[in-house]
Amino acid sequence: MIPNLPKSIEIYFTNDRADAEGLELCFTENAFVKDDGHTHTGIAAIKAWKADVVKKYANTSEPLRLEESHGKIIVTSRETGNFPGSPIEFRYTFGMEGDKIASLEVQV
């Protein structure tokens, strides 16, 4: 794990659980996630999305790099799982509100 990751982002990356429990600790109530052409808004939708991803791909994350740009925290992570080309580096762009994640965009 990258040293000095904000606690909510650390929780996000260590939550590779099919039940997605614990995500309510790191996202704001009205947060949204953009991934694979879809937007998931609110804690319940984000938990359902994350649980589906873990179930479908059995993926694990290994954050490699952290940078900050235009008020966003960008983490490059090596994703390993049941998908073509595994492992692949993904780029996670986090928008923060206080100490919680308000937005997340996932890109390959």
Share of residues in the chain with pLDDT > 90 (%) = 79
Confidence of residue 17 (pLDDT cuts 50, 70, 90): confident
Domain that holds residue 27: 7-107
The single-letter code of the amino acid at 39 is T
Confidence of residue 32 (pLDDT cuts 50, 70, 90): very high
Burial 69-99 (b: 16+ CB within 10 A, else e): eeeebbbebebebeeeeeeeebebbbbbeee
CATH of residue 83: 3.10.450.50
Assigned domain for 2 exists: no
Q: Which of 81, 68, 69 is nearest to 108 (CA)?
A: 81
Confidence of residue 56 (pLDDT cuts 50, 70, 90): very high
Distance CA 101, CA 21 (A): 16
Confidence of residue 3 (pLDDT cuts 50, 70, 90): confident
What SS3 class is residue 32?
Answer: strand
> Does position 87 have pLDDT exceeding 80, yes or no?
yes
Q: Provide the mean pLDDT of the chain.
A: 93
Assigned domain for 13 exists: yes
Residue 35 CB neighbours (<10 A): 17
Residue with tokens 């966003």: 72
Question: What pLDDT does residue 69 have?
Answer: 95
Confidence of residue 33 (pLDDT cuts 50, 70, 90): very high
- How many domains is the chain built from? 1
H or E stretch at 72? strand 72-80
Mean pLDDT of 74-79: 96
Higher pLDDT, 60 or 38: 38
